[in-house]
Amino acid sequence: MSRTERLLAIAETLRSRRTGITAQQLAERFGVSIRTIYRDLDALRAGHLPLLADAGPGGGYALDPSYKLPPINFTAREAALLVSTADWLVRHRVIPFVDTLGDAIDKVRAALPNEVLRQLSPLSASLAFVGVPSRPVDSGVRRILEQAWYEDSTVHITYDGSRGRTERWIRIRQVIVDRAEVLLNCDDLDLGEPRQFRMHLIAAATLVKSEPRA
């Protein structure tokens, strides 16, 4: 067992117990010296694992009870939105406790399977925050556009632009959350060129399985 594997196993052992466990018991369980266990526990503390230590009979090492949470399985879409939003809050110092939030983001990333992590990077890169939008968007349209963005699918929209109502076939490349509105940087499949759409001006949206004929 590598040290990384042992650290994860120790953390899981502590998380699963209702009572403390001594360094001697951990050393015997993982087949290493007590000195090695002490170094491992120091490493876990450095990684912000909230370890408690009670001396005397019946004592030992345990996790802070308030730290324990049930297992949570994130989809790539959920993780992308969670991490991207939290990153934005940290970068713009929207809230005062950005260090704690940054630690939480790191823990979410560390807990994600490799397959989700591979999907997370391009999804996060295609989502940008500039401010807090104030113009409302129809909830049904919003759900369809989110799915189209996540799946990189073609979507048919009814758009109320400066030239009146038009029907467009688009593929979303980036979502920009601006101070007053949500902007979509898209490939306009009718014109074969990039175009930006204002999300609140989209009157209807439908996912399509194939691109429109030329």
Whole-angstrom distance, CA of residue 186 vs CA of residue 184: 6
- Residue 124 token pair: 């996060």
The enclosing H or E element of 53 equals: strand 51-54
Q: Could you tell me if 50 and 15 are in contact, meaning their C-beta atoms sit under 8 angstroms apart?
A: no
The answer to whether 157 touches 202, Cβ cutoff 8 Å, is yes
Please give the structure tokens belonging to residue 63.
Answer: 């996790």
Length of the chain: 214
Contact of 202 with 145, CB cutoff 8 Å: yes
- pLDDT (0 to 100) of residue 92: 66
pLDDT at 82: 85
Maximum Cα interatomic distance, the chain, rounded to a whole number of Å: 79
- pLDDT given at position 69: 58
Give the chain's domains with CATH numbers.
Answer: 3-67 (1.10.10.10), 76-125 (no CATH), 139-207 (2.30.30)
Q: State whether residue 19 is helix, strand or coil.
A: coil
Please state, in angstroms and as integers, the Cα–Cα distance from residue 118 to each residue in 75, 103, 148, following that order.
12, 21, 19
Please spell the DSSP secondary structure of 18-35, one letter per residue. Answer: SS-B-HHHHHHHHT--HH
Those residues of the chain that have pLDDT short of 70 are: 56-58, 66-72, 92-98, 132-133, 210-214
- pLDDT (tens digit, 9 = 90+) per residue, 28-82? 989 999 999 999 999 888 877 888 888 766 678 888 776 655 566 777 778 878 8
Give the pLDDT confidence score for residue 214 in this predicted structure: 44
Q: What's residue 142's pLDDT?
A: 86
